[in-house]
Amino acid sequence: MKMHKWADLKKAHLDPEQIARVDRKVATELVEMSLADLRRELGVTQVDLAQAAEMTQGQISSLEHRTDHLVSTLR
């Protein structure tokens, strides 16, 4: 999946309808991402995330490998 930065899209001078369409697509893709995918897209390591969440890296790894922990599940 090709990723675009929101700032780059805003520079393209999109009209409100195009912006709304992009927002809907982004929201859909985020809901479908796994926790590991989301963490990687944010550029955060498991160690960084574990420190922020006051967990161990092993606990983060376990969460990421569970099949029932999609972002939509956590919401």
The structural domains of the chain, with segments of one domain joined by +, span 16-74
Q: Which two tokens stand for residue 73?
A: 């599940």
In this predicted structure, what is the pLDDT of residue 10?
66
pLDDT grade, residue 75 (50/70/90)?
low
DSSP class of residue 70 equals B
Place of tokens 């160690």: 47
Over residues 21-67, the pLDDT tens digits come to 888 887 777 667 788 888 898 899 999 999 998 999 999 998 888 87
- β-pair partners for 34: 70
Rg (C-alpha) for the chain, rounded Å, is: 15
